[in-house]
Amino acid sequence: MQTKPETRRTAIEIRDLRVDYGDFVAVDDVSLQVPAGEVFGLVGPNGAGKTSTFRVLATLMEPTYGEVFLDGVDIQEDIEMARRIVGYMPDLAPVPSDLKVGEFLEFHAAAYGLGTRQQQRDRVAECLEEVGMTEQRKAWCAKLSRGQTQRVVLAKTLLHRPRVMILDEPASGLDPLARRDLKDALRRLVKTGATVFVSSHILSELAEMCTSLCVMNRGKLLAAGTAEEVRRLMGNGGRRLTMKFVSQAEAAADWMQGKPGIEAIAREGESLTLAFAGEEDHQAELMAGLVMAGFRMVSFEERKSSFEEILVEVAESNRKR
């Protein structure tokens, strides 16, 4: 008897979401599904609609129209249940300057009703350890650096063990070490069954920490999937090949004209740079063919379009409109 493949539940489902501010359309008929147990990234330039989308998901604003489900719960039909499911961390969230870190978190633990006073303190300690801020429990919030403040707010977001976490630019202001710690913390969270939906305007940053991602621009969803699928859908699936020859670079360029996948060839001295959109088999055949034809290569390097380049192209398209 053949068993059916296991299907993962959907943690976030967005159907035809639209958000208007007067005559301005911030989110334009976006539909998206995020499977449970993923770190799912949302990227786009400023004004893309990321924060408006997140505010709707966090039940902080009503959409013009559309539906949103968190772990199967319709957020407009059962807003209280949705708020128990979701944890929201806004970009540059403030913390009170007249409270210590522990006091700030214990206040929120009490507001969530997390058991007895001791249980609340224990949960605060767990969340501080998770974000690497245990030693700052008695520090005044006013004395925290920007990166430390971000981590305290993340600890607050973790307190009630949300099944869906919405994080808006969580790495903003973090140094490289803190960014690495954040990525590790997010990966540990998804192992517990949580789903993380995280935004950034830095696509490469999300590509490093996310299992899947999507790109928004001018309120519209442009592409969604794995990093490689997004590259392809955004028209950046091609590769740039750079090869350096001992000699005969010009002759090699003539030999390669018309070969499968080659779109353009640029020469600089004995080096050639190719815009290449062929399959891996075509690339392997090209390398083998050059060797068989007697061309002696010193190096052969492949580079795919960087995510920064993709985002720059999206931003540049905005300026031209």
Residue boundaries of the structural domains of the chain: 10-233, 239-304
Residue from 213, 190, 186, 219 nearest 314 by CA: 219
More confident residue, 97 or 7: 97
Note the pLDDT tens digit of each residue in 161-206: 999 999 998 877 677 777 777 788 888 888 888 999 998 877 666 7
Residues 6+ apart with CB under 8 A from 309: 236
Q: What is the mean pLDDT of residues 137-164?
A: 92
239-304: CATH topology is Alpha-Beta Plaits (3.30.70)
Radius of gyration for the alpha carbons in the chain, expressed in angstroms and rounded:
24
CA distance 274 to 296: 17
Q: With 80 as the cut, is the pLDDT of residue 310 above it?
A: no
Residues 6+ apart with CB under 8 A from 184: none
Note the pLDDT tens digit of each residue in 267-278: 999 999 988 877
Which helix (DSSP H) or strand (DSSP E) does residue 81 occupy? Answer: helix 79-85
Residue 263 Ramachandran class (φ > 0 left, ψ -120 to 50 alpha, else beta): alpha
CA distance 112 to 83: 11
Q: With 70 as the cut, is the pLDDT of residue 315 above it?
A: no
Note the pLDDT tens digit of each residue in 50-69: 999 999 999 999 999 999 99
HSE-up of residue 136 (Cα within 13 Å, Cβ side): 24
Q: Is residue 113 within 8 Å of 107, Cβ to Cβ?
A: no
Q: What is the mean pLDDT of residues 104-129?
A: 96
pLDDT bracket for residue 1 (50, 70, 90)? very low
CA distance 72 to 85: 10
Q: Is residue 59 within 8 Å of 82, Cβ to Cβ?
A: yes
How much is the pTM? 0.75
pLDDT on residue 16: 97
Note the pLDDT tens digit of each residue in 221-251: 988 888 777 777 776 556 788 999 999 999 9
Evaluated on CA atoms 252, 254, 260, 263, the torsion sign reads positive
Note the pLDDT tens digit of each residue in 84-103: 999 999 987 889 999 999 99
HSE-up of residue 159 (Cα within 13 Å, Cβ side): 27
10-233: CATH topology is Rossmann fold (3.40.50)
Average pLDDT of every residue of the chain: 86
pLDDT on residue 201: 74
Q: With 50 as the cut, is the pLDDT of residue 31 above it?
A: yes
Q: With 70 as the cut, is the pLDDT of residue 317 above it?
A: no
Q: Is 52 exposed, middle or buried (0-12, 13-18, 19+ CB in 10 A)?
A: buried
CA distance 294 to 194: 56
